[in-house]
Structure 1
Amino acid sequence: MFFPVLFFLLLGCFVSWLSIFLLLHAGLGQTSSTTIQHHHTHTGVIPRIGGAGIVLGFTVTYLLCFFNLDDQDNASLMHYGVFAGAAGAFLLGFLDDMKPMGAKVKLLAQIIIALLAHECGLSVEKFKVPFFEVTFDLGFFSIFLTVAWFVAMMNLINLIDGLDGLAGGIGLMLMALLAYLGYEGGVVISTILALGMVGAILGFLFHNFPPAKVYMGDSGAYLIGYVIAALSLMNSHKGTVIAALIAPVLALALPIVDVGFAILRRGIRGLPLFRPDRLHIHHRLLGTGLSHRNTVLVLYAVSLFALVGGLLAFANQGRYLPIFLGFAFVVLLITLRGQKFTADALRNVVNDSIQARQDTRNALHLKDWFIVESERADSGQHLWSDYRFILKKMGFIRAELQLGEKARNFYVPNTAHDQPEELWQYVHTLRGEYPGQLVLYAEKNFFSERQFAILADIATEAWGKAAARWEVVNDGPLHFEAKAKAAESYRAQKARSLYRPTY
């Protein structure tokens, strides 16, 4: 048994590592989206082609199994569904990496992929009550739970892909768990494919562990998420229903909790539920002073602890799982010791959030307008003037913007703009050909610290995206003296002339 395990693992690892190495050496992937995202933690443009190496490692493993599949076997369609769905998930992410799609388009595509998987036999057909010998046949509701399972897994892996090596490491742990569950359940092809994915992800991590040379992108995240969902369901058809489905959920406790809190946090604050921010667990750890590498290692340790819970859900029919959950609860209480969770504190948070929702929605609308308006700005100074307008409408009373060696600032008269003790301050570093800094100020009497942070984050994102769009439209870097390229038509020139800001 040791030799086959080592063979499939090393094969996937070698193919993945070599593919990514050759792609990087050939300079491929540099044409993918090169805009530095506002909420990303990295400081440069890194190719998002790691998913290509992972899918090639997975493909080679699958092809070795292909000739052993029996066309007369009822499960063969399920086997084909694993690979076909994985290829579809990879292609969806690859297209999004090349040219970002809308969230609704991606969600629709994911639902279609999940429906096809359901038709291939990869479905949640029964629900077994944990710790009881009671099983319910889901019937028509099977299709809804199956779709939810696949869509959730694909997006979970994608949402935690915010730090070098994080999503890859957690995905590797999950694949190792699925390989073990497949082996114990006698599902040979699930075991082999999981081992191939362990190797493929490991080959990718050689290029991705901090400091990263390549990212997996949406293509790799969707691929890993789909394979986790598919192999879990394949294992469940061999009598390990509770372990096959609950074990991966427990092992994914970290991203599930992180995403759950993110959705709750954004909903309370009036932000779009899927809007990225810098308040995820890894952002908070980085904020404590931990390095990227140490942050990843800490989260690996937490995920490994959760993985033990997944294994206990399988061992001895889950008899030891309550002990593990009780221990995890104690650890959580110790971690939260010293935190003051009172009724008054909770009431203040709720009241502050309700009052701030209108300000947040207004800021989001102003951001969207400014990004679109950037196409009509005929100079860097023009864009700065428009930006001053939205900052005032958002409630900021002072701002300082530096691009390269040049700087601009503004303040609102008859305010406390010159009294630092009465102001909130937000500093954001700008990257690009003309690096600099953006500093925003607002009065403490009008904003809570939490709401100021939200509005400042929206305002800095607005500048970053508007500046990026201006550079794309005008084929050049943005600075205060930069001029827009000549209008390509009379209508375009007329659009520029419709509005001129007051400098």
Structure 2
Amino acid sequence: MFDAPPDTNFMGPWVPRNVTWMEMACYFSGALLISALTTWWILKRGGRIGLDEPDSRRKLHERAIPRLGGAPIFLATGLACLVAGYIGGLGWSRWLPVAICNALIFSVGFADDLKALGAKVKLIGQIGTAMILYSLGVSIDMLSNPFGEGSIALGWWGVPLTLMWLISIPNIVNLIDGMDGLAGGFGLFLCLTLAFLGHLGQQPDVVVVSLAMAGALAGFLIFNLPPAKIFLGDGGAYLIGFFIASVSLFTANKGSVIGALLVVVIALGVPILDTLFAIIRRGMRGVSIFNADAEHIHHRLILLGYSKGRALAAMYSVCLVLSLVGLSILATKGVALPVAGSFLFLLALGAARYLGYVRSWKNFRAQINDVLERRRQREFFRAYGRVLDFEVERCADLDSFSTILSHGLQRMGLSARAQGGTSPEVLRINNTMQCVIHHPKDDNDAGEWHLRLDVLIPVLERCLEKWNALPDCIEKPASSPPPKATA
């Protein structure tokens, strides 16, 4: 049983009550049941909205799969928390700011699942939601040493620190949501970690809401484990990340919130490491950090010969170990911090080498030079793509542009027809038409050629807008849609 001292909430005084183990089991299992039944209903009754279509590049599932998994998680967690507040007497009112903002961030992601909003619109929604939560009093105002004496008043620095925390965690969770069961499983482990932090802090309401979310995720995972029948979507990923970020601010008093944040950061070690690798990788390649690719940790594990199930089990195991490491730091009052820091540093180096991000430490400089050379080639393709885009405007008819495009493809080392020593690449145009461009067979991987050839898509889209046709020099695929790749 848990018993906590009186506290103050958003709407007035809050007097907690004891919560039995049986009640906590009921909240967890109730959320699990509601989530599982709602997910089953979506799969049975779902129509043609919110479908994630395969693209033969990154999305290798064989059929369109709904990405509305955030809805049952949101519904199950909300109902469980309402029951805990009204019937269980846990004082729902102090959670009102968190509930409102979690609903807002879920709405932003869910709207994107139904119809793409664009990265800028979603970022504005995330910033706005985080600012609303900060204005309602959920913030990081003071950091004190959770392992000893002393504290630091953040002043106005509390604003960017709180916003960064509330925005980064949802995006980190969304970034790793590229494999069946991965983001949902990580969310489950992290919610159980938050429940344990609530137990240590004698906060029964934190325990209950965390177990409610954990139960909702467990019910969803029944249908999301490989092979997935439904995906989280941005709505689900944003909800999980924002829930973890906002509830972690409740797991300790304002002065010692750093202890809870430290545990969450360590438990998020795998997603944070994956995000760090992605930022470095995309930055060196000269592409946007929001540009999706197929080189995340789970992709690398599959390339190393892991099945989806084994790769998922390996990442779950690491997440569990890191959660225990974070809790051990808190439990030992910081004694284990140097050991944990060394372990995390060695884990990052070992992962970079094992997963192939670093082919050899001895030849690391040569690998960097190779990456920079590829970046220069990609910049040339981008520049020439803009030239061809301007040529569409200048040409009076499609035949004239077709001649210019043929010459441009030659300058880029490409061809519109199959030749000896070339490989075909299918480009999707406006999600309705396709064409084939042939590139040289070389040491570059498929992802590298995807990045280079994607600059031609806007050019061909402009052709369709202006002449309602593609240049005659462009080859159309023999069948449409192209054959689906398999994992």
Of residues 265, 276, 282 in structure 1, which corresponds to 2:292?
276
Q: Is the 8 A contact 2:418 2:424 kept in 1?
A: no
Does residue 258 of the first structure (1) align with residue 274 of the second (2)?
A: yes
Deviations 1:129-178 (A, max 9, x none): 57553321111111111110011011011000000000000010000000
CA distance, structure 2, for counterparts of residue 299 and residue 214 of structure 1: 20
Q: Normalised by the size of structure 2, how large is the TM-score?
A: 0.79
Query: Does the 8 Å contact 1:187/1:238 carry over to 2?
Result: no
Q: Which residue of 1 aligns with 2:232?
A: 216
Q: Is this contact kept in 2: 1:130–1:242, CA < 8 A?
A: yes
The residue aligned with 1:341 is 361
- Is 1:457–2:461 an aligned residue pair? no
For residue 236 of structure 1, report the CA deviation from its aligned partner.
2.7
2:116 to 70, 92, 100: 100
What's 1:187 paired with?
A: 203
**C-alpha contact 1:360 1:454 (8 A) present in aligned 2:** no
In structure 1, what is the equivalent of residue 467 of structure 2?
A: 496
Superposed CA RMSD = 3.9
Structure 1 residues 53 and 364: CA distance shift in structure 2, 3 A: farther
SS in 2 for 1:317: coil
**1:42 counterpart = 2:72:** no
Of the three residues 18, 36, 39, the one matched with 1:20 is: 39
1:292 positional shift = 1.4
Distance 1:330 1:351, change over 3 A: closer
C-alpha distance in structure 2 between counterparts of 1:312 and 1:261, whole Å = 26
1:3 aligns with 2:22: yes
- Gap runs ≥5 in structure 2: 1-19, 393-400, 475-487
Structure 2: distance between partners of 1:372 and 1:17: 52
* Match in the other structure for 1:300: 316
Paired amino acid for 1:43? E
When structure 1 is superposed on structure 2, of 44-53 and 350-359 the one drifting more is: 350-359
Corresponding residue of 2:481: none
- Give yes or no for the alignment of 1:53 onto 2:72: yes
State the Cα deviation string for residues 292-329 of structure 1 (Å, max 9, x = none): 12211111111112111121122122322333333455
The code of the aligned residue for 1:62 comes to: C
For residues 60-459 of structure 1, what are the structure 2 equivalents within 5 Å? 60-67=79-86, 76-77=93-94, 79-129=95-145, 131=147, 133-237=149-253, 240-329=256-345, 336=353, 340-342=360-362, 345-364=363-382, 391-396=409-414, 409-411=417-419, 418=420, 440-442=438-440, 449=443, 453=446, 455-459=448-452
The amino acid that maps onto 2:120 is K
Give the whole-Å Cα distance in 2 for the aligned partners of 1:428 and 1:394. 17
* Aligned mates of 1:89, 1:65 — CA distance in 2: 22
Contact 2:39 2:220 in 1 (8 A): yes
- Aligned-residue offset at 1:4: 1.6
CA contact (8 A) 2:146 2:333 kept: no
Tell me the distance in 2 between the aligned counterparts of 1:8 and 1:353.
Answer: 51
User: Structure 1 residues 124, 239: closer, same or farther in 2, change over 3 A?
Assistant: closer
- CA 1:331–1:454 in 2, change beyond 3 Å: closer, same or farther? closer
Which residue of structure 1 aligns with residue 50 of structure 2? Answer: 32
Contact 2:53 2:59 in 1 (8 A): no
Q: Which consecutive unaligned segments of at least 5 residues does structure 1 have?
A: 375-382, 400-408, 412-417, 474-483, 485-491
User: C-alpha distance in 2, partners of 1:299/1:388?
Assistant: 47
* Offset of residue 439 of structure 1: 8.2
Question: C-alpha displacement at 1:61, in angstroms?
Answer: 1.4
TM-score, normalised on structure 1?
A: 0.77
